[in-house]
Each structure stands twice: as C-alpha cells, then as structure tokens.
Amino acid sequence: MSLTKLIQTLDTELKQAQAENRYKAPERVICGYIPSTGKIGPRYKLVGQSGSYFRMNSNSYLSLSNDPELIAAADEATKALGVGPGAVRFIDGTFSQHVELEQTLAKFIKKESVKIFNSAYTSNCGLALSLTNKNTYWVGDELNHNSIIRGLRISGVSRENKGIYKHNDMADLERILQNVPSGIERVVVVFDGVFSMRGDHAKMDSIIEVCKKYDSNFKDGVITVVDDSHGIGAYGKTGRGTCEYTGTLDDIDIIVGTLGKSFGVNGGFIASSKEVIDTVRQKADTYIYSNSLGVAECAAATRAVKITDSPKGLKLLKNLEDRTTQFRSSIESLGIESVPGATPIVPLLLKDPLKVRSCVDFLFKEGILVTGMAFPVVPKGQDLIRCQINAAFTEEDINLVVAALKKWLESN
C-alpha cells in the first residue's frame, strides 16, 4: 500500500483551492505576549518576525486569557489534581472543578442547569444528537455557524426534517413554521446570537414572538436554541450576551456558549432546564465518549465567569463598548463598508478576495494582525476582514489601526 495516489488527488484539490483564493494562508505562530503598558494595549511576538504585533483577531474579547487571576486558578488546580481528567465524565473523570464551573455558569446564565463540553463545536453537535428523533423538525438561520449545521448532519436530520430561513428574516421563519410537515411533534429553532462573521445579532425578541404563535401546534412545542458563543461575555450591559441585549433571557429555552472566547480559556457548554441537561448527559455522544476539559481550564473558566460578573468585568465591558464605538465610527468615516451594529465583531466588507489579501498583507507590515475570510467561511462575494475589538485596547491602539487602514486606502 502507498499514499502516492491519494497524495496526487489531494495535491490537485489543494492547488485548486489556491487558484480560487480559498486556500488558507500558512498559520502564523505566536511565541510571546507583551502585557499592556499605559496607552499601549497588549502586543504579541511571532516566530520568525522581529518586532511586536497588535492582535485584532482574537476572540478573547475581555482579554482574560492572560489575566493573572485565571493563571493562578489554573496553576492551583493543576498542582492539586494534575493536568488531565484520565477518563470521560461518567467513568470517574468528573472533578470538583467541573461541577463548580457548571454551577457558576448556571448562575451567570440564569438557567437551572449546565453541562460543559470540550468546545462549543461539540456542544452543538451533542445538543443536536440529544434532541433529534424521527419526529423532530429543525429550523435554522442560513448563516448559522458550521457546528450547528454539522450537528444536524451527524444527527441524521434529513432535508425533509429541516427548514432554513433567510438571514434574520422573520417572515421567512414564519413561512417555514407554517409549513412544517404533518406528524412532526417537536420543532427546534436554532440560531447564532451574534453571527460570527458579520457581527450582527439575531432578532431574538421577534424570533421568540413568532415561535410562541406556533408552539401549541406540536406535541413537544417549538423550542428555541441560541448559540451565543460570540455574545456571552462580550455583549449586553453585564455580558450576558444577545439574550440580555434583546431582553429575552427568560424566554429562550436553551443557550449554547463557549469558554474559548470572552472567557479566555477553552471549552463549551449547554444551559437549560434540569431535564434537558440530563437528556444531554444521557444522549450527547460528544459528551459521553470524549474526555472533558482538564481541571486547570475549568478553574480558569470559573474565575473568568466570576470576573465577568463583578465590577472588574463591568469595567472591561465598558471599555470594550467604548473602543467598539470608536472603531465603528472611524471606519465609517473612512468610507469602509461594514455591517451596522454594536457588537465587537466589526467586518470590513471588501467583497473581493484580492482586496482582502492586499489589506491583510498591508496591515501585517504595519504590525497589525487581522484575518481575511473567504468562501466557504463566508458566502461567495462577501469576502471580508473580521476585526475584533478587545477590552484591553486603548484609544491610541484604535487610532493606530485606523491610520493604517487610511494609508492602505490611499495606496489603492
């Protein structure tokens, strides 16, 4: 046996992706972190590069990844219990740090119960596996995250058992709910809270209103699920995400989130009623058959949630909001198209892969890290640069990026 024939095929596919500008650039490697100093936010060192870089593509919106409190919590847990759980949760791989994290999240999210997963990706897959039976009908926004789409696929949801509505289009959602096939007993409507590429948010209040109208048509009702991976810890006055921003915290049935963005660590979770969460524990393969987080990550994430829910967290959220407003209004003044909104994801909608590459390369030379997004990560023709604001940014940092963008525009 040999890999020769397979290698030829893969090589052809990779070259095709390159020719179509879909090939992801080689990964840059971070090897150093320089904390904030006064008017300058954190900077990063890269392997093979001298100088330091300003990072505008981090999901760690509250800059908690490098917070000394989280690092101390992780160290303490590791010293006490080691680095890995040694087994999946139900085979005595459950430690007190897992339980404390679940309880802390439940209190913060204001839901009865929480299960943590090793990522939000596996949370979405596990939730789909748990809620799908032959009489389940899934409804989703066309721009939902890949993990939601993949979750439905691995759960064997057929074309006939799902409907996709146009992005944030409530009339289309209602049309789908009106046309659910007969025999369906459970409808699950699932959507991103903050859409990860465009940075706009789901019209959750309207979605809930529409879903309520059709709830009595189905034996198990119409269930609403938000994946607010980019919203929780970054959006809403107290960081409770899109539910808080849209005033729907009490109405949403199930919340999926990540610990790897605002909370600065790693992992994911599902929050809901005790019964939903117990069902997830019984049925979600991605929970049952895969190791959970280590105690260090759990302890650090618990600390992160507690910080978010404290005066320190409110201060971070306020600076995040102020820097977001500053950047959004600055790029508008430069005439760069974006998606209106108030979330810290600010896309530069350049709509052309070559322009995206030119801008990314230009900013890199100016010491700024951003990432271009092309099909299939975004729809064809919607090529963009996703800029992400961070609570550790200063006013001067944003001015520096805006000046670099101005230079790029002038040189084009």
Q: Give a three-class secondary structure readout of 53-89.
A: EEECCCCCCCCHHHCHHHHHHHHHHHHHHCCCCCCCH
Q: In a 10 Å sphere around its CB, with 0-12 CB exposed, 13-18 middle and 19+ buried, how is residue 336 labelled?
A: buried
Bridge partners, residue 55, by sequence? 369
Q: Name which of 124 and 319 has its Cβ closer to ligand PLP.
A: 124
Question: Bridge partners of 33?
Answer: 44
Stretch near ligand PLP under the rule CB under 6 A, chosen from 30-38, 108-116, 160-168, 223-231: 223-231
Which part of the chain contacts ligand PLP (CB under 6 A), choosing from 114-122, 134-142, 245-253, 377-385?
114-122
Query: Of 261, 272, 330, 338, which one is the catalytic site residue?
Result: 261
| Binding of residue 141 to ligand PLP (CB under 6 A) | no
Q: Determine which one of 119, 196, 292, 338 is catalytic.
A: 196
Interatomic CA distance for residues 89 and 98, integer angstroms: 9
Indicate the residue among 127 and 391 with the shorter CB distance to ligand PLP.
127
Known catalytic residue: 230? yes
Q: Does 233 bind ligand PLP (CB under 6 A)?
A: no
# of chain residues touching ligand PLP (CB under 6 A):
13
Unique residue bearing structure tokens 């987080």: 293
Question: Exactly one of 230, 262, 330, 338 is catalytic; which is it?
Answer: 230
Residues 146-185 that bind ligand PLP (CB under 6 A): 147
Residue 260 interacts with ligand PLP (CB under 6 A): yes or no: yes
Cis peptide preceding 376, ω within 30 of 0: yes
DSSP at 159: G
Neighbours of 120 (CB within 10 A): 27
Neighbouring-strand partners of residue 254: 225
Q: Does 323 bind ligand PLP (CB under 6 A)?
A: no
135 phi/psi in degrees, rounded to 5: -110, 20
- CB 342 → ligand PLP: shortest distance, Å? 18
* Interaction between residue 386 and ligand PLP (CB under 6 A): no
Q: Contact between 121 and ligand PLP (CB under 6 A)? A: yes
What does the block give as tokens for 40?
Answer: 């300058």
| Residue 330 DSSP SS3 | helix
CB of 118 to ligand PLP, least distance (A): 8
Q: In angstroms, what is the minimal distance from the CB of 145 to ligand PLP?
A: 4
Asked whether position 119 contacts ligand PLP by CB under 6 A, the answer is yes
**Contact of 326 with 71, CB cutoff 8 Å:** no
Length of the chain: 412
Site string (264-303) toward ligand PLP, x via CB under 6 A:
----x-----------------------------------
The set of residues, in sequence order, having a beta carbon less than 8 Å from that of 410 and lying 6+ positions away, is none
Nearer to ligand PLP, 85 or 140 (CB): 140
Q: Which is nearer to ligand PLP, 136 or 286 (CB)?
A: 286
Range in contact with ligand PLP (rule: CB under 6 A) among 23-31, 89-97, 182-190, 222-230: 222-230
Q: Write the CA distances from 343 to 120, 198, 202, 228, integer angstroms.
A: 20, 10, 12, 12
* CA dihedral for 110, 112, 116, 121, sign (positive or negative): negative
Instruction: Return the residue nearest ligand PLP (CB atom).
Output: 119
The yes-or-no answer on residue 272 being catalytic is: no
- In whole angstroms, how close is the CB of 259 to ligand PLP at the nearest point? 7
Among 73, 120, 298, 320, binds ligand PLP (CB under 6 A): 120
Rule CB under 6 A: is residue 227 a binding residue for ligand PLP? yes
What is the contact mask toward ligand PLP in residues 178 to 217, using x (rule: CB under 6 A)? --------------x---x---------------------
Please, what is the angle between helix 146-154 and helix 120-131, to 10°? 40
Residue 44 DSSP label? E
206 catalytically annotated: no
**How many Å apart are CA 402 and CA 367, to the nearest integer?**
13
Q: List, by residue number, the catalytic residues.
A: 196, 230, 261
Binding site for ligand PLP (CB under 6 A): 119-121, 145, 147, 192, 196, 227, 229-230, 258, 260, 268
